[in-house]
Amino acid sequence: MKNILEWLENSTAKYPNKTVYSNLEYSLTFDEVSCLAKSVGSAIINLDLPEGPVAVVMGKEPKMIASYLGVAYSGRIYAPIDVTLPIKRLNSIFDNLEPAAVVTSEALKEKVQGILEQVGKSEVKVLTVEELEKTPADQAKLDAVRENMTELDPLYIIYTSGSSGVPKGVIASHRNVICYIRAYVKVMGITDEDILGNQSPLDYIAAIRDIYIPLYTGASSFLTPKEFFMQPNKLFDALNNAGVTSIGWTSSSMTLLDTLHAFKNDTLKTVNKVCFSGSVMTKPVLEYWTTNLPNAKFVNQYGPTEATASCTYYVVDEHTMEYDSVPIGKAYDDYKIILIDEDGKVPEEGELGEICVTGPTLALGYYKNLERTNQDFIQNPVNNRYRELIYKTGDVGRILPDGNIEFHGRKDRQIKHMGHRVELDEIEAAAATIAGVGENAVIYDDKNEVLVLYYVGEATIKELSAGLRGIIPGFMVPRKMINLESMPKLPNSKIDLKELERMYSNEG
Amino acid sequence: MKDKVLAILEGVRPDIDYATEDNLVDGGVLESFDIVAIISQFESEFDIEVEPQYLTAAHFNSLDAMVSLVETLQK
């Protein structure tokens, strides 16, 4: 087993006419996805494109996934791109990616061409899945590509927030995804009878579960429309109609559904497995869910994109509420966790340390950013005997007496906001480019999930808010903006963030 | 009360002109996390509970629609 497509091929042989992916509009069987992916793969090979990854831009639909797999058949890396992002962000992503082509749908073709022009990449070929799927599969060429690949070949590039304002493209290999999916399926107990209810946009890391678990197990995935998450009645109806049994959602979407009283007059009739991840799950929200779905298995998952979506898992049981916070648990299969303290040593038992991860699930690094890759993926400082790379998550934790890991926040200024990874530095850098904005600093009120921007300058809050929306995604635009005469400073003339936090909490 | 609703909306999304926008949800102007923030503040400010059956685009598409939603729920 060295290529994720072997799973697709095995499951297609076993369940050819079974639905593998569906949304409210249509569904595709294993056989249909296989044929489509092979056609897309063959077409890309035939085109003799310049070197480079293939960007995929599409709505949340089964054909988007089939296109990813098609790119994988061609032996290239796929990179999902969300074209609703602000143009400046798309610009830096396309500059880093330099795609050989973009695969999209007929419906989005014009929009994609427009964006490529705006980011100065109009020479990049735009291909539509409707055209590509007409190409007959060329098995000999597909086999030849496969023969030259190893399990360490890259499969995808997924972009995440970068502190300098330039998104980082995390590259994962076939082996990374194979190991993670196998470990997750084992913990959750997913079989070919399960139907997964997807939440994540397909360009996000969390979607790799909804994409690859069906290929491994013969299960199927229902792609939920994004806007249903603010209309719980519609969401629950859709999931109940689809017979969804297993969900892997962000803690923040589960919090959101609690806020919206989702279970008031309704329930999820068929869901019996729930995994939550992405940010800290609070005990009251967990209790809301376990009370409403008393027969379901609940699992807390923790981990960064750089370790292929995860590191650790914790199965909720009758003792969970006795902990100070919901533990992040223990390492999955094919993951190893080490805590490292400030001195580069393993901390004393029960003491805090940075959570570091190693194993065959470590991503290949950041695309075309070797410098940053070498900073974050380093030789294990407590192993001087052989080469062992670890990824420093930047998260702090400690090991409890029962072996579970307890999460203790970040070392740096990266936060988790509404399920998204956000670098506060990136928001500040964006604000500084807006006319009439001088010094500025962002703090995070994690209790209320609110980003707060303090700034100096004559720009109005309205101008600042509108300006930021042109540079960074909506969820990163601070909800609270406060204009100051001057910024509080530390003796070294840096902005005093602690003082800003005090000012904010005094304001109530 | 309209002023209170407007103040909440402007607090959540200061960049929007609520006097003219009448397609806030269907037009994709407000995002899901905006709606959630608005609802939480409606609930605490007006001492109401916005139950799931009221969470439809029509109730949140404009300032006036939200004002009448709050009025309905206050009864």
Please write the tens of the pLDDT for every residue from A444-467. 998 888 999 999 999 999 999 999
Q: Which residues of chain A lie closer than 8 angstroms to B49, CB-CB?
A: 261
Q: What is the mean pLDDT of residues A193-201?
A: 96
* Distance between CA atoms of residues A293 and A330, nearest Å: 24
- Smallest Cβ–Cβ distance between A260 and the set B15, B34, B39 belongs to B39
Mean pLDDT, chain A, integer: 94
Q: Which residues of chain B lie closer than 8 angstroms to A466, CB-CB?
A: 15
Max Cα distance, chain A (Å): 69
Sheet containing A19-22: which strands, arranged edge to edge? A27-29, A19-22, A220-223, A195-198, A246-250, A273-277, A297-302, A312-315, A330-331
A410 versus A113: the higher-pLDDT residue is A113
The number of residues in chain A equals 508
Dihedral through CA A146, CA A151, CA A157, CA A158, nearest 10? 130
Is the pLDDT at A164 greater than 80? The verdict is: no
Report pTM.
0.91
Name every residue whose Cβ is closer than 8 Å to that of residue B66 and which is 6 or more positions away in sequence: B5, B9, B38, B42, B59, B60
Q: Return the domain boundaries, chain B.
A: 2-74
Going A376 to A421 to A62 to A237, the CA torsion angle's sign is: positive
Confidence band for A376, pLDDT divided at 50, 70 and 90:
very high
Is the pLDDT at A508 greater than 70? The verdict is: no
pLDDT tens per residue, range A77-96: 999 999 888 999 999 999 99
Q: Which residues of chain A lie closer than 8 angstroms to B55, CB-CB?
A: 230-233, 260
On whether any CB of chain A is under 8 Å from the CB of B19, the answer is: no
Residue of A nearest to B59 (CA): A231
pLDDT at A506: 87
Whether residue A79 contacts residue A126, with contact meaning beta carbons closer than 8 Å, is answered with no
Is the pLDDT at A222 greater than 80? The verdict is: yes
Q: Which residues of chain A lie closer than 8 angstroms to B15, CB-CB?
A: 462, 465-466, 469
Name every residue whose Cβ is closer than 8 Å to that of residue A416 and which is 6 or more positions away in sequence: A252, A278, A279, A280, A422
Confidence band for A166, pLDDT divided at 50, 70 and 90:
confident
Q: Return the domain boundaries, chain A.
A: 1-149, 169-363+370-412, 414-507
The yes-or-no answer to whether A169-363+370-412 and A414-507 have a common fold is no
Confidence band for A490, pLDDT divided at 50, 70 and 90:
confident
CATH code of domain B2-74: 1.10.1200.10
* Chain B closest-CA separation from residue A19 CA (Å): 30
Confidence band for B75, pLDDT divided at 50, 70 and 90:
confident
Q: Which residues of chain B lie closer than 8 angstroms to A229, CB-CB?
A: 32
Q: What is the mean pLDDT of residues A196-211?
A: 95
Q: Which residues of chain A lie closer than 8 angstroms to B32, CB-CB?
A: 226-227, 229-230, 256
Helix (H, G, I), strand (E, B) or coil at A291: helix
pLDDT at A242: 97
* Distance between CA atoms of residues A255 and A476, nearest Å: 18
- Smallest Cβ–Cβ distance between A231 and the set B15, B40, B55 belongs to B55
Residue of A nearest to B44 (CA): A259
Contact A260 B36 (CB under 8 A): yes
pLDDT tens per residue, range A269-320: 999 999 999 888 999 999 999 999 999 999 999 999 999 999 999 999 999 9
Q: What is the mean pLDDT of residues B2-9?
A: 94
CATH code of domain A1-149: 3.40.50.980
pLDDT tens per residue, range A354-375: 999 999 999 999 999 999 999 9
Q: Which residues of A touch B (CB under 8 A)?
A: 226-227, 229-233, 256, 259-262, 264-266, 418, 461-462, 465-466, 469, 474-475, 479-481
Whether residue A232 contacts residue B51, with contact meaning beta carbons closer than 8 Å, is answered with no
Q: How far is CA B44 from CA A268, A328, B11, B49, B54, in A?
A: 27, 32, 15, 9, 17
Is the pLDDT at A162 greater than 80? The verdict is: no
pLDDT at A163: 67
CATH architecture of A414-507: 2-Layer Sandwich (3.30)
Name every residue whose Cβ is closer than 8 Å to that of residue A312 and which is 6 or more positions away in sequence: A301, A302, A303, A328, A329, A330, A331, A332, A335, A337, A405
CATH 3.40.50.12780 fits A169-363+370-412, yes or no: yes
* Chain B closest-CA separation from residue A472 CA (Å): 14
* Chain B closest-CA separation from residue A123 CA (Å): 31
Q: What is the mean pLDDT of residues B9-23?
A: 91
Cα A444 from chain centroid (whole Å)? 21
On whether any CB of chain A is under 8 Å from the CB of B36, the answer is: yes
Q: Which residues of chain B lie closer than 8 angstroms to A462, CB-CB?
A: 14-15
pLDDT tens per residue, range A326-350: 999 999 999 999 999 999 999 999 9
Q: Which residues of chain B lie closer than 8 angstroms to A262, CB-CB?
A: 52
Report strand pairing: A246-250 vs A273-277.
parallel
* Chain B closest-CA separation from residue A332 CA (Å): 31
Confidence band for A409, pLDDT divided at 50, 70 and 90:
confident
Contact B36 A481 (CB under 8 A): no
Contact B15 A231 (CB under 8 A): no
* Chain B closest-CA separation from residue A466 CA (Å): 5
- Quickly count: other Cβ atoms within 10 Å of residue A368's Cβ: 14
Give the DSSP H/E element, type plus range, for residue A126: strand A125-128
